[in-house]
Homo-oligomer: A and B are copies of this chain.
Amino acid sequence: MKQQVTVYDIAEEAQVSVATVSRVLNGSAPVSRTTRAKIEAIMHKHQFQPNAVARSLTKKETGIIGVILPDITNPFFPEVFSGIEQEGLASGHTFFLCNTLGDYGKESHFLNLMREKRVDGILFMGGRVNLRVCDPALARELAEHARSIPLVLLNGDVKDAGLTRVATDEASGTTLAVRHLIGLGHTRIGFLGGARHMSTTAVKVRAFRRTMKEAGLAVRDAWTIPGGFSADAGREQMNRLLSLRDLPTAVCCVNDFTAIGAIKTAAEQGLNVPADMSVVGFDDILLARHVIPELTTVSQQAGELGRTAVRVLRELMGGAAARKLTPLEPRLIVRQSTAAPGGQGD
């Protein structure tokens, strides 16, 4: 680990002051053609890399955006992150990524860590912010952080915290899915996956019920089965559903992972999807169009969500007061996992 060269070394060798070196480094003030050339040559010769830590200390900005999300292993999040990175790179930002794995303790820990590290802004998704009834203490903590660091919430909400948010309209997305099923002729529809205490699930379930009722259809509690967001959870939920004596002809799933698990189990039990059971997912993960059958789903436009969030965060970091809520419209993507009940028509 050889010693790094500093502005002083450059200054000395070029016989100028560090201020001048700093000036050519930042173009912050005019420097004569000749000295500039000399300094640049020396920098290049030593492969000089200015120390960003020192720079951050004086400028009071790090160029780092902290990203907190539940689980990068769930395909939806990498797509969001990808959008974030794409947009953030354009403004020279860099990313500090943390997975909370749904652990609230970790959320607090990372939030503090980010303050210590003096990130310029925070993008926060999942976990606590998705609690339907958010512990006031936690809400306060988040609001507190937001007061000292620009923070935007992605797809979540915290009552009364007054946070800036960017969110897909999950209710309207769910409505899209349910109407599609109803349009196909289904009248017996269930809802799989999620966790009742998370607002994201609550929003979807509520929209599901409302849409069913508007169409004059009955909502059966036994067909609304929570239990998580993973593919394994989807398998188990479908298993429970299939153990009932009376079955729906279609199900909405809380996300694509769950839908894929549900389809898997349905197939194992001898059902044909979509002929015997239509399944619709949510998210439109990359693999959704490659599974068999291809998944009908609601696109959250994950990449766009990430890009938009960065744009909003940038306004905040710039000192502007961004709109409190920037909504994103989801889109229904019809593929092969849904069809008319009983396999009639297509």
Copies in the complex: 2
Q: Does A133 contact B (CB under 8 A)?
A: no
Residue in B49, B71, B115, B290 whose CB lies within 8 Å of A112: B49
Q: Does A148 contact B (CB under 8 A)?
A: yes
B264, A231: Cβ atoms under 8 Å?
Answer: no
Report the Cα distance A344→B98, complex, angstroms: 49
B148, A2: Cβ atoms under 8 Å?
Answer: yes
A62, B53: Cβ atoms under 8 Å?
Answer: yes
B57, A286: Cβ atoms under 8 Å?
Answer: no
Q: Does A54 contact B (CB under 8 A)?
A: yes
Report the Cα distance A113→B85, complex, angstroms: 15
Report the Cα distance A81→B2, complex, angstroms: 29
Kindly list chain B residues whose C-beta atoms are within 8 Å of the C-beta of A96: 64, 94-96
Q: Does A299 contact B (CB under 8 A)?
A: no
Shortest distance between the CB of A269 and any CB in chain B (Å)? 13
Q: Does A157 contact B (CB under 8 A)?
A: no
Kindly list chain B residues whose C-beta atoms are within 8 Å of the C-beta of A261: 290
B290, A148: Cβ atoms under 8 Å?
Answer: no
Interface string of A289-323 (1 = CB under 8 A from B): 01110000000000000000000000000000000
Task: Decide yes or no: A82 and B78 within 8 Å by CB, A96-B96, A97-B95 being known contacts.
Answer: no
Residue in B56, B117, B263 whose CB lies within 8 Å of A292: B263
Q: Which residue from chain B places its CB closest to the CB of A63 in the assembled complex?
A: B117
Task: Decide yes or no: A1 and B51 within 8 Å by CB, A73-B82, A263-B292 being known contacts.
Answer: no
Kindly list chain B residues whose C-beta atoms are within 8 Å of the C-beta of A50: 116
Shortest distance between the CB of A45 and any CB in chain B (Å)? 14
Interface string of A38-59 (1 = CB under 8 A from B): 0000000001011111101100
Shortest distance between the CB of A272 and any CB in chain B (Å)? 11
Q: Does A35 contact B (CB under 8 A)?
A: no
Task: Decide yes or no: A78 and B72 within 8 Å by CB, A52-B116, A292-B292 being known contacts.
Answer: yes
Q: Does A260 contact B (CB under 8 A)?
A: yes
Report the Cα distance A144→B2, complex, angstroms: 11
| A residues in contact (CB < 8 Å) with B | 1-2, 4, 47, 49-54, 56-57, 62, 64, 71-73, 75, 77-79, 81-82, 85, 94-99, 112-113, 115-118, 144, 147-150, 231, 235, 260-261, 263-264, 267, 286-287, 290-292
15 new A-B contacts at CB < 8 Å, known A52-B118, A75-B287, A260-B290 = A1-B148, A51-B116, A52-B117, A64-B96, A72-B72, A72-B81, A73-B78, A75-B75, A82-B99, A85-B99, A235-B290, A261-B290, A263-B292, A264-B292, A291-B291
